[in-house]
Amino acid sequence: MTALRNHNCNYISNVKINFKFDGKSYFAYEGDTIASALLRNNIRLVGRSFKYHRPRGIYTCGIEEPNALVQIISEHNEPNTRATIKRVYDGMVITSQNRWPSLSYDFGAINNILSPIFSAGFYYKTFMGPKGFWKNIYEPLIRRSAGLGKPPKNFRSKSIHQNHNTDILIIGAGLSGLIAARKFVNTKYKVLMIEQDSFLGGILKNSNKVDTINGLNSSEWLEETEKLLSKAQNIKILRNTLVTTYNFTNHFVALEDKFAGKKIDLNKSELTLHKIRTSNTILCNGHIERFISFRNNDLPGVMLASSFEKYIHRYGVVPEERPVIFTNNSSSMSLLNSMLSLGCKPEAYVDSRKNEEIETDIKKILKENNIPSYFEAEIEGCDGNKKIEKITIRKGKIFIKIKSSMLCVSGGYNPDIHLFTQSKGLLKWDKNIASFKPDTPFQKTLTLGSVSGNYNFNKLCDEINEKLSFLNTAKLDFEIKLNVSNKYSIKELWETKSKINSNWSKSFIDLHNDVTIKDLKQAISEGFDRIEHLKRYTTNSMGTDQGKISSINSLAVVSKLLKKEISEVGTTTYRPPYAPLSFAAIAGRSTYEFYDPQRKTSIHSWHLKNNAVFEDVGQWKRPWYFKTHDKETMHQAVQRESKMLRENSGILDGSTLGKIEIKGRDALEFMNLMYTNAFTKMKPMTSRYAMMLGEDGMIKDDGIICKLSDQHFIATTTSSGAPKVLAHMEEYLQTEWPHLQVYLNSITEQFSTFNISGPKTREIMRKVFPNIDFSNEAFPFMSFKNFDYKDTKIRIMRASFTGELGYEIYISPKYGLELWEEMFSCGREFNLIPYGTETMHLLRAEKGYIVIGQETDGTVTPIDLNYNWMIGKNKKDFIGKRSLSRPDTSREDRKQLVGLSPINKTDTIEEGQHIVELNELPKKIKNPIKYLGHVSSGYYSPNLNHSIGLAMIRGGKNLLGKKFFVTVSGKTKNIPVEVVNPVFVDPENKRLIS
Amino acid sequence: MTEITSTSGVNITQKYYHQIIIRGNGLEKFNNIIEEKTSIKPPLKNLEIKYDSNYLFGKNSFDQWSLILITKKDHQQILNLVSSINTNENMLASDYSHGQAYFEIEGENKEIFLNKLTHFDLREEKFPKSTMAQTTIARIECSIYNLGNKFVITCNKSYEDYFQKRLKDTALLSNAS
Amino acid sequence: MIIIKCPYCGERDQSEFSNGGEAHVVRPNNPESLSDKDWGEYVFFRNNPKGIFYERWVHSHGCKKWFNAVRNTSTDEILKIYKLKEKRPEITEFKNCLKSPSGEPKVGSGNFTVKK
């Protein structure tokens, strides 16, 4: 059992590097994958299986690997990495997975002996009862044993996204991909070619199937082609990039490993997620070899034949000098040739085909080299301790035992139909290749070469010329000479019969998820005869490898069991991704500081300097409250701000409020339709609090409407509602009332807006704007005026959301910060304070003003809020009007807005609590408790010195003075409250209007 | 002008321009009024832009135009222009001068750079010179103007800080290819 | 993400658009004259067929214009896009559109991938 080096391989350098696997140091050559390096070091056991913890080795040489998954410690602990793909670099640290305490002595292997209880439907049958077990026992148990590797910790990805728009996308740079690409050299088409490997060439590098192309040997032809393609301005090639997703309208997702074979630089992006949109797609993604099920077909040492050959040519390592070859098709001739040319002789050649079906070339080679050959024979099984030691061949009734440590298996080739079916193309069963191949594409998808089911490479050029003729590219003429037979032949063989029956002996159909042929049989006998059900019940092909080497086998086995045609059984649905895609790549830069775009007002820098604590409102960063010193809590700050404002004056950065300019001949009619209020009699240069409903009569948004004239309005909206309100207005203008001549512009960003209010506000305003008359007569409540300010204009409106005397100032952001600072320098002597959104919410609750999204939740009408005065009843129509008289909306017992005051003034009314009739809840609730409503806002009022609440209570309008109870979080004892008028402060509006 | 970032084949600067958004029906009378007020014939074709060293005038859609004034002006002048357009009943002009941020992207790799932040198809045949588009870049709504040798991108001023950071971050992480 | 062709801006990624539900549902001219039932029909009830569907879209992150589209809801193909002022295309125009890519099995998941 020794690996040899193939010195003829040019793709591996002679530079030796070192890496660690499970704590031990090993060598590798630059260019090695983890798998090829381990094979070089004669390491065959690399992991433990998912369910039974059986010893597993390297089964393949690519993306299809079901066994050799490892954890890369030196790359932020990346788990479940395919050893057959991931390239080694100097200093790499790797561990095996799913074993304890060590890979060779794994305690979990006991599962293998207990395997009868882990049979098909194990999860569904075992974790059923008794009640309460799920939460306390089963779930924690499953969570502990689920998965293979351990997740990475504290890792901040710098993955980026790259979008492409292209004419032609070629997936796969193997022989057919390269020929196709050569047809596009220096044409008008923009071409993107994607290759999952770091090299171009496919079978030209992985095997010696191709002898010459137009007289050039394959490496010369490859060199010529690469040169040609790299010079072409219109062709871009991405290497180390795997296409994972084929979406509708020719949209693709592909993942590029930027540090393949290199140590990751944490300051750079290690992955690029390519998002590709193309006009035409050319799939050249080739084929994947499948295995054959036999007894212990999972032992370390079993490997797919073409993978064995790929290790020889692509990585320059012959994993074993004298393996046994087991095949049912003509392709293994290539492996024979490769081995013999290196002076290695297989221990035996086992072919399930009949003597007369086997190509004479193969028979000749076997004979000339004196290789023990068994035709019309099969492998019964293999045995050994954590590796193959003995292989049993069955020929007729005779069993032959052979000693060898490796077994190369070929069950035939499957076109790699995954992407084609993701694109919703239809497949067809082809008897000649005993596999599914693409039939009818659903999108503009072409398949070339072996993915199309054409394994006869000498005819490849004709196929490509024909299929690409519609693009009017030049005809190419390549004469491809092969080292193997020109015609592919295969005899169906999915499983072989076992003569030994024991718990240890298993014939696997899915290596990744430890599904056996026995499991399939059992599931079918239990009635799971539809393939989609069967898959889920047995977890067949549900591993991270998606059953790439085995799913067709399972369909075939199932079809035999059901006595149906395989095309009748069908396939399961192929869904993206083709291979695992890390969340870090999908998220790209949209994490941490870029998780959501942030909007900042022109005053933001001042807020930062003045210790604002921010709150997210939509995408806006708004000051929540300002800290006067480090130890001040939010409660203390809000209480201070609220008290100071009602005593002196406070100012809020309201720049985030949405503003919409509305203008046109029919602006008045439009506004009358959009809002509940009547605007016809409203005087120009006055403003009004207005409400916008949906057609269902429920409140959508509120705001202040300024009327400049019947043709010109400015509407303000809530901060987070601004885009919705503009879209709502545009929708009705465009779709329902195109006859109305009205135009809308969002002017949210064109003004910095300050809301100043409090008893000393008038004095401050006089000092800031000495030329403006702020007297109540000249500047009454709900009026606005424009003034010159430097080289711009400001608009000042008398309005308030706190219940105190207040003004809103609108100024160009150019002067926003300057004016804000000026107001503070003038306001200092009046104790002007900045306040945040939390204080705003508290003050408006004291005044009984509602907040959209807090008192309202999409089920509240203006009538429910006692805002009947806002409804223009005489208007013929407005959006939502008709719904207000629907029986459900006009019910008397709807939840209505009231105020709550605690009877015991030291009690706290919590937001979101229920209102009930019981003073105490039972310890165990057996019958539903009668629910009257909920607390929509709850604050401690520093101005009343007790807690207050706004609540939505059933039939609340008629319950003034009634006593109810409010629940308390985590307690059964409720607090008694009295239903009161929701306006706690200045109900006569004296402060507001004088 | 502020240098934002530069990486191989890409140069990004921030500019400070004035802008007016004009809404109207685009009929002859409308075009005449615009020409009279601004001394520029508005672009007639949807998505077309007209530009010289003083202005950039784009037709955003069949009833919307954006006029970007490149040379520095008094804000009062802009406001006067806005209110003089607004004297016409069926036109709406809004001043966007200080509510927008402007970025210019130049260099041979500007397309591949921008395509790290947007799906928008920047190929010449889909987005020809002297046209504009409204799309999303770095997940925010932007307008992009193709002046041939450079792209001008505008977005809401409130995103300025975020957008600058995204541009710098993308440049920093754009290692090879 | 599918491609949608905005009639004003051209082909764009689906992420720039928002769907506005069934098209050609006209807001009643005189809502007050409608019975509660008829008004309820207008506000709350929409069709949701499998197959050809006339629906509204808006280029919400682009020009913000509304338009109509005919979409095959079982394949996600957009068969026609037309402006609001244009006439509603006849359903007979789309008789030859692609059937569901999976074919329509009589039983099962509807995800069959193999041609019979």
Task: Look at residue C88 and tell me whether its pLDDT is greater than 60.
Answer: yes
Distance CA A40, CA A43 (A): 7
Q: Which residues of A touch C7 (CB under 8 A)?
A: none
Distance from CA of A157 to the nearest CA of B (A): 11
Rounded mean pLDDT, B77-102: 95
**Nearest alpha-carbon partner for A538 in A35, A30, A50:** A50
Same domain, B74 and B110: no
Which of A271, A750, A793 to probe the B interface (max B CBs under 10 A)? A750
- Asked whether the beta carbons of B56 and B4 are under 8 A apart, the reply is no
A407 and A301 Cβ atoms separated by less than 8 Å: yes
Taking only residues 43 to 102 of chain C, the set having a beta carbon closer than 8 angstroms to any beta carbon of chain A reads: 43-44, 56, 58, 60, 64-66, 75-76, 84-85, 98, 101-102
Average pLDDT over residues A339-368: 95
The verdict on residue C116 lying in a domain is no
Would the CB atoms of C62 and B135 count as touching at under 8 Å? Answer: yes
CATH of the domain at B123: 3.30.1360.120
Whether residue B158 and residue A600 make contact (CB cut-off 8 A), yes or no, is: yes
CA dist., res. A608 & res. A630, Å (int): 14
* Residue-level pLDDT at B109: 95
- Please indicate, yes or no, if residue C99 is contained in any of the structural domains: no
Mean pLDDT of C60-86: 94
A604-655+751-844 CATH:
3.30.1360.120
- Asked if the Cβ–Cβ distance from C84 to A248 is below 8 Å, we say no
- Answer with the residue of higher pLDDT: C113 or A68: A68
Q: Which of C16, C64, C65 faces B136 most closely, judged by CB atoms? A: C16
Nearest CA in chain C to A734: C66
- Per-residue pLDDT at A650 exceeds 90: yes
Q: How far is A232 from chain B (nearest CA, A)?
A: 16
A426 touching chain C per CB within 8 A: yes
Question: Choosing among B100, B158, B168, which should be mutated to test the A contact, i.e. which has the most A CBs within 10 A?
Answer: B158
Q: Which CATH superfamily is domain A658-749 in?
A: Aminomethyltransferase beta-barrel domains (3.30.70.1400)
Chain A nearest CA to C109, separation (Å): 8
pLDDT band for position C106 (cuts 50, 70, 90): very low
pLDDT per position as a tens digit, A507-556: 999 999 999 999 999 999 999 988 989 999 999 999 999 999 999 999 99
Residues of A in contact with B21 (CB under 8 A): 745
Regarding whether B169 and B103 lie in a shared domain, the answer is yes
Return the H-helix or E-strand segment holding B112.
helix B110-114
Report the chain B residue with the minimal C-alpha distance to residue C8: B61
Residue C18 lies in a domain: yes
**Mean pLDDT, all residues of chain C:** 87
Residue C110 has pLDDT above 50, yes or no: no
CB of A876 within 8 Å of a chain C CB? The answer is yes
CA angle B23, B28, B34 (to 5 degrees): 50
Q: For testing the chain C interface, which of A246, A249, A558 should be mutated: the one with the most C CBs within 10 Å?
A: A249
State whether A727 and C58 contact (CB < 8 Å). yes
Domain ranges of chain A: 1-152, 157-287+413-488+574-595, 508-562, 604-655+751-844, 658-749, 892-993
Both B6 and B38 in one domain: the answer is: no
Q: Residue C67 belongs to a domain with what CATH number?
A: 3.30.2270.10
Using a CB-CB cut-off of 8 Å, the residues of chain B touching C8 are 46-47, 61-62
Nearest CA of chain A to the CA of C31: how many Å?
6
**C102 band by pLDDT with thresholds 50, 70 and 90:** low
Q: C92: distance to nearest CA of chain A, Å?
A: 22
pLDDT of residue A994: 85
Both B88 and B103 in one domain: the answer is no
Contacts of C28 (CB under 8 A, 6+ apart): C34, C38, C39, C42
**Residue C105 pLDDT more than 80?**
no
- pLDDT surpasses 70 at C98: no
User: What is the spatial distance between Cα A978 and Cα A976, in angstroms, rounded to a whole number?
Assistant: 7
B158 vs C: CB within 8 A: no
Measured between beta carbons, which residues in chain C are less than 8 angstroms from residue B60?
A: 63
CA of C19 vs chain A CAs: smallest distance (Å)? 12
Q: List the beta bridge partners of residue C54.
A: C70
Residue A104 has pLDDT above 90, yes or no: no
Same domain, B136 and B160: yes
Check pLDDT > 70 for residue B26.
yes
Chains near C with 3+ CB pairs less than 8 A apart are A, B
User: Do the chains contact at A268 and B175, CB–CB below 8 Å?
Assistant: yes
> How far is B157 from chain C, CA to nearest CA, in Å?
17
Sign of the C-alpha dihedral computed for residues A603, A609, A612 and A616 taken in this order: positive
Question: Do the strands A271-283 and A445-447 form a parallel or antiparallel pair, or are they unpaired?
Answer: parallel
Nearest to C13 among B61, B62, B119 (CB): B119
Tell me, yes or no, whether B30 and B60 share the same domain.
yes
pLDDT for A145 equals 66
For residue C65, the chain B residues in CB contact (below 8 A) are 61-62
Is C37 an interface residue toward A (CB < 8 Å)? no
Q: Which chains touch B (3 or more CB pairs under 8 A)?
A: A, C
* Numbered residues of chain C with Cβ closer than 8 Å to any chain B Cβ: 1, 8-13, 15-16, 61-65
> Are B42 and B91 members of one domain?
yes
Mean pLDDT of A252-278: 93
Closest residue to A730, CB basis, from C44, C64, C75: C64
| Domain end point (choices B73, B95, B117) | B95
Q: Are residues B26 and B91 in the same domain?
A: yes
Of A104 and A284, the one with more pLDDT: A284
pLDDT of residue C107: 41
| Cβ-defined contact of A745 to B158 (cutoff 8 Å) | no
CATH architecture, domain A892-993:
Beta Barrel (2.40)
Query: Does the beta carbon of B46 lie under 8 angstroms from any beta carbon of chain C?
Result: yes
User: How many domains does one find in chain B?
Assistant: 2
Q: Which of A107-116, A315-324, A517-526, A671-680 has the lowest mean pLDDT?
A: A107-116
Domain-located, residue C109? no
Of B49, B72, B95, the last residue of a domain is B95
Secondary structure E strands in A172-259: 191-194, 210-213, 216-217, 235-238, 241-247, 251-257
Span A98-102, average pLDDT: 78
How far is the first Cα of chain B from the last one, in angstroms, to the nearest whole number?
29
Reported pTM: 0.94
In angstroms, the separation between the Cα of residue A656 and the nearest Cα of chain B is 9
Q: What is the nearest CA distance from A968 to chain C, expressed in angstroms?
A: 37
Task: Tell me the chain C residues in contact with residue A884 when contact means C-beta distances shorter than 8 Å.
Answer: none
Inspect the interface and report whether the beta carbons of A696 and C56 lie closer than 8 Å.
no
Q: How far is CA C83 from CA A735, B6, B15, in A?
A: 10, 42, 37
DSSP string, A753-809: EEEEESTTHHHHHHHHSTTS---TTTS-TTBEEEEEETTEEEEEEE--SSSSSEEEE
CATH code at position B78: 3.30.70.1520
What pLDDT digit, counting tens, does each position of A492-516 carry?
Answer: 999 999 888 787 899 999 999 999 9
Residues B7 and B67 reside in one and the same domain = no
- The predicted pLDDT at position B176 comes to 46
Q: Identify the weakest region by mean pLDDT among A109-118, A270-279, A387-396.
A: A109-118
Question: What is the tally of structural domains in chain C?
Answer: 1
Q: What angle do CA A853, A854, A859 make, to 5 degrees?
A: 60
CA-based nearest distance C10→chain B, Å:
9
The mean of the pLDDT values for chain A is: 94
Class of CATH domain A157-287+413-488+574-595:
alpha beta
| Shortest CA distance from A530: residue in chain C | C108
In tens, the pLDDT along A610-624 reads: 999 999 999 999 999
pLDDT at position B66 is 97
* Residues of chain A neighbouring C1 (CB-CB closer than 8 A): 247, 249, 251
Q: Measured between CA atoms, how close is B88 to chain A, in angstroms?
A: 9
Is A505 an 8 Å CB contact of chain C? no
* Domain presence at residue C37: yes
| CB of C62 closer than 8 Å to CB of C28 | no
DSSP string, C42-111: HHH-----SSEEEEEEE-TTTT--EEEEEEETTTTEEEEEE-TTSPPPPGGGGTTSPPPTT---SSS-S-
Please say if the pLDDT value at position C75 is more than 90: no
pLDDT at position C109 is: 38
- The dihedrals phi and psi of B152, each to the nearest 5 degrees, come to -105, 125
- C110 in A contact zone (CB under 8 Å): no
- What pLDDT score does C93 carry? 86
CB contact (8 A) between residue C15 and residue B119: yes
Residue A643: predicted pLDDT: 97
| pLDDT at res. A122 | 72
**Count of helices and strands (H, E) across chain B:** 4, 11
Per CB-CB distance under 8 Å, the chain B contacts of A812 are 75, 95, 97-98
Residue C49: domain span: 3-90
User: Check: CATH 3.30.750.200 for A1-152?
Assistant: no
Query: Whole domain around residue B26: which residue ranges?
Result: 18-95
| B95, B113, B130 - which closes a domain | B95
- Asked whether the beta carbons of residue C3 and residue A574 sit closer than 8 angstroms, the reply is no
| Local confidence band at B119 (pLDDT 50, 70, 90 cut-offs) | very high
Find out whether A926 and A962 touch, Cβ atoms under 8 Å. Answer: no
pLDDT at position A962 is 97
